[in-house]
């Protein structure tokens, strides 16, 4: 079944399956909370395996969480690859905390999409934002055909 076929399996089931077969990310305590077209929420518990020498979550683990949230938000139209990212680390995520990653698609032109990413330890509290930024991605197509439609998804275009 092609990864963009929505016939037999739900988007959530397809994303969870992708996470399971990803050798790297399957070693991390990352869970899918919600997924819909252009939007995803994931969590990661900061346990000793994600900690750096300063007692907080390693930046690479946080970037991986952001990347997976971006990928889940864009997976509604099949495989999407990261073209670029700009993630600003604002404050540490302490050991024992749970980081929530939200990804929201803000624009799309053809096969290229831009997603806003936020990582936080307390949703709705600006003082708990750990990192924020954008990811740009490109959907893969076997046919090589590109759409020229411009689509805005979410509250901001």
d(CA 153, CA 12): 19
How confident is the prediction along the chain (157 residues), in pLDDT tens digits per residue?
A: 344 444 446 999 999 999 999 998 888 999 999 999 999 999 999 999 999 999 999 999 999 999 999 999 999 999 999 999 999 999 999 999 999 999 999 999 999 999 999 999 999 999 999 999 999 999 997 534 444 343 444 433 3
Distance in angstroms (rounded) separating the CA atoms of residues 152 and 108: 6
The CA-based diameter of the chain, rounded to the nearest angstrom, is: 48
Q: What is the pLDDT of residue 46?
A: 96
Domains (range + CATH), the chain: 11-151 (3.10.129.10)
pTM: 0.84
Q: What is the pLDDT of residue 25?
A: 85
110 Rama class: left (phi>0) / alpha (psi -120 to 50) / beta: left
């Amino acid at each position: 079944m092609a990864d963009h076929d929505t016939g037999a399996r739900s988007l959530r089931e397809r994303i969870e399956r992708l996470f399971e077969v990803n050798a790297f990310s399957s070693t991390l305590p990352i869970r899918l909370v919600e997924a819909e077209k252009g939007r995803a929420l994931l969590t990661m518990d900061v346990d000793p395996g994600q900690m750096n020498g300063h007692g907080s979550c390693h930046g690479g683990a946080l970037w991986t969480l952001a990347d997976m949230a971006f990928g889940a938000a864009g997976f509604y139209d099949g495989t999407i690859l990261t073209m670029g990212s700009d993630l600003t680390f604002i404050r540490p995520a302490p050991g024992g905390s749970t980081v929530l990653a939200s990804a929201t698609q803000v624009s799309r032109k053809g096969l290229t999409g831009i997603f806003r990413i936020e990582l936080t330890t307390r949703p709705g509290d600006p003082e708990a934002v750990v990192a924020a930024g954008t990811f740009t991605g490109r959907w893969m197509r076997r046919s090589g055909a590109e759409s020229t439609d411009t689509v805005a998804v979410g509250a901001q275009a």
